[in-house]
Structure formats: C-alpha cells, structure tokens
Structure 1
Amino acid sequence: MSLFFCFNIFSDCDIIDSNISLNGVWDLRILGIDPGLATIGYAVVDKETNHFDVLEYGVIKTSADKKDTKRLEIIHYNIEELIKEFKPEEMAVEELFFNKNVKTAIAVGQARGVILLAGSQAGLKVAEYTPLQIKQAVVGYGRADKNQVQQMVKSLLNLAELPRPDDAADALAVSICHGHVFSAHSGWEERL
C-alpha cells in the first residue's frame, strides 16, 4: 500500500491510502464511484475476460469547513483528474438511496450531480446502480450486510485484506457490479 495525495489544487483533501497495481490489458476500464459530499469512494478496475484487475482505489475527502459550492467544485475537479489519469471507458455510480435526513440526501444528490457531469463531459458511458443491485451482483443477495460485501469484494479482486475505508470498498463493489452487467449485457448502454 502506498500513500497517495488526492488530486487537489484547492488543498482540501487529506492524504489518503491508495492501492495501485497495473497490468496493462483489459476489456473494459471502469471508474466506480460511491458518492458523498464529505467522502467520495473511487475505484479504477479493469474488467478482463474472466476476472477483474484493480488499478487503484481510495477516497476523496472534502473539508466541512468549506462552503458546499467549493466542496462540489473540488469533487468535480478530482473526478476529472481521475478520468484524465486512468482513461476509463465507463463510469458506474451508486444511486442515491432513501435517507431520512433530507439535508444529507440533498448534499449527496448534489455530489452525484457533479460526478455524473464530470463523466458525461469526458464522454464516458455512465451507469447507475442501486445498493440492492450492487449487493446482488457482488454477493448474490440484495440484503447482504457491509461485511459480507467487503468479504466478497476481497475474494473477487484477490485482495490481501479487506478494502478500506468503507467508501473505497463500496466503490470497488460498484465497479464489480458494472463489470458483471457489462459481461452479461454487451449492449447495456442501449437501455440507458
């Protein structure tokens, strides 16, 4: 594991742990995103014929001391930088789930908006998945708990340990979900 500095011209990101391994050949490069306003999980995964290869995963953090507009700008910039560096063909983003806290739901919705915008501006095919769909694709059971999902992510990606932090693990799960959909439905974009 290496230390990775979040791409950030605004100096609002923390030092984050990032896991990097490059293989060089892939069928589909996916940028998976677990959206949030404070912490955004991301994963860059290559879907190969019969397995996945993890290039990098980590988190982007924004400071609560900043105005929401600045935090959204930081998120957009960092997603753009990930796209420029890794050149994914497709982006997969977790859909917003019902949240009793309306303020939190609105903030996450705004973050999702700038994330989706960055993907669209880069010309990526963008897919969205519900937490239920992600759990079904990764574990085979839509009501799986977080630990079950992380165990399967570890197993499917041949990781030495459980992926951390949770937001990055969720982004890996989103990537796996999209990779399975890509394998099962070569023309998935026609449904969007």
Structure 2
Amino acid sequence: MRILGIDPGYAIVGFGALDYTRNTFTTLQYGAITTKAHTTFEDRLSEIYDDMTQLLAAVKPDAMAIETLFYTTNQKTVIAVAEARGVLLLCARQAGVPVFEYTPLQVKQSVSGYGKATKKQVQEMTRTLLKLPAVPKPDDTADALAMAICHAYSYRSKQYGVALTKRQQMGYF
C-alpha cells in the first residue's frame, strides 16, 4: 500500500510518502510545501493546490492520511489551517485518493505505543521505524511521515479487525 501522510498548514504543509508491504516500510519521498509569509492568503492556497496536485500525480498514493483539525488558542490560525486543509482534501478527491483522518493522540499511540508521547519521542520513533539517518526537518515533515505510519498500522487493524492473527501480523495475508 502506498500512503501519503500530510501535516496540514498554510505556511508549511508537511508530506511523506511510504510504501508499506508485509510490515516493512519503504520511504519514497518526504518534504514540505511552503508558501512565503507576505503572499496573499488566496495565492498561498493556490500554491498549495498546485503543488499538492503535482505531488499526488507523482506519488500516486493508494491513500492519504491527514491530521484532524483541533482547536488551540488562536482562532485566526485554526481557521486558516482549516481552509488550507480543505484545499488538500479537494486535491485528494480530484485525484481519486481516499482520505483517512487521525488525531494527534492516535498518531502518538500508533507510532510510539504511548498516547502521551512527546513530539520528540514520536519523531525519533518515526526515524527508527523508517531507518532514516536523522529526524526529517522541518517538524511538519516528520509529523507527516508519522501520519503515514499511523495509517499503515491503523488501516490493517480496521481492514482485518482488531484481533489480527500472527500470520496477518507478519504480513502473510
């Protein structure tokens, strides 16, 4: 299964593409779509749309995993991120890629085994699972890769039921 993990934003959209086969990850590519601070918001959304459309065409994922939106203290920021997230969801829909949403708690639990893991712990576990030489930068990129890992683990559980047999856990369907 090819998974594109997305950490949504309007200044930085982290992305990470993985293949997941027989409990093995292959990292295809990762990085960030960035927009400049003094660009109009509409132009930022347009850049995100164009870059995401190209990324989806290049990666050809079977699924896109994206973080659910949660409200923090800054209303202005959450609304802007929600609008950028809408653009990302539209791109996936137009490319025919199914979207799966996960909370930060689900990602932490899935990647590190502990729902209250720190950001650093999740990033280090992501690096370890993907056998990367260093934690990817910016943080949004590492978060997107963690999102893809979360989907790989969660999707199989949803697909085959919570109680996977040992044979299934080993990747022998």
Pick the aligned partner of 1:183 from 143, 156, 169: 156
Pick the aligned partner of 1:85 from 31, 35, 58: 58
Pick the aligned partner of 1:60 from 24, 30, 33: 33
Instruction: Find the residue that maps to 1:161 and give its secondary structure.
Output: coil
- Distance in 1, matches of 2:59 and 2:37, equals 28
Taking every aligned residue pair, what percent have the same amino acid on both sides?
49
Q: CA deviation at 1:185?
A: 2.1
> What is the identity, as a one-letter code, of the residue corresponding to 1:162?
V
> What is the identity, as a one-letter code, of the residue corresponding to 2:143?
D
Q: Which structure 1 segments of 5+ residues have no match?
A: 1-27
- Distance in 2, matches of 1:184 and 1:152, equals 20
Cα RMSD, aligned residues only = 1.2
- Distance in 1, matches of 2:160 and 2:31, equals 29
Q: CA deviation at 1:142?
A: 1.2
1:100-139 equivalent positions in 2, closer than 5 A: 100-139=73-112
1:154-173 equivalent positions in 2, closer than 5 A: 154-173=127-146
> What is the identity, as a one-letter code, of the residue corresponding to 1:84?
A
**2:123 counterpart of 1:150:** yes
Pick the aligned partner of 1:69 from 22, 42, 46: 42
After superposition, what is the alpha-carbon deviation per residue over 1:11-44, rounded to whole angstroms, capped at 9, x for unaligned? xxxxxxxxxxxxxxxxx10111000010110001
- Distance in 1, matches of 2:159 and 2:20, equals 13
- Distance in 1, matches of 2:65 and 2:125, equals 18
After superposition, what is the alpha-carbon deviation per residue over 1:26-82, rounded to whole angstroms, capped at 9, x for unaligned? xx1011100001011000111111111100000111012111111011111111101
**2:30 counterpart of 1:51:** no
Instruction: Find the residue that maps to 1:93 and give its secondary structure.
Output: strand
Q: Which structure 2 segments of 5+ residues have no match?
A: 162-173
Instruction: Find the residue that maps to 1:45 and give its secondary structure.
Output: strand
2:168 corresponding residue in structure 1: none
Q: CA deviation at 1:141?
A: 1.1
1:13 corresponding residue in structure 2: none
- Distance in 2, matches of 1:90 and 1:135, equals 20
TM-score by length of 2: 0.90
1:10-25 equivalent positions in 2, closer than 5 A: none
2:5 corresponding residue in structure 1: 32
Q: What number of residue pairs does the alignment pair up?
A: 161
Instruction: Find the residue that maps to 1:107 and give its secondary structure.
Output: helix
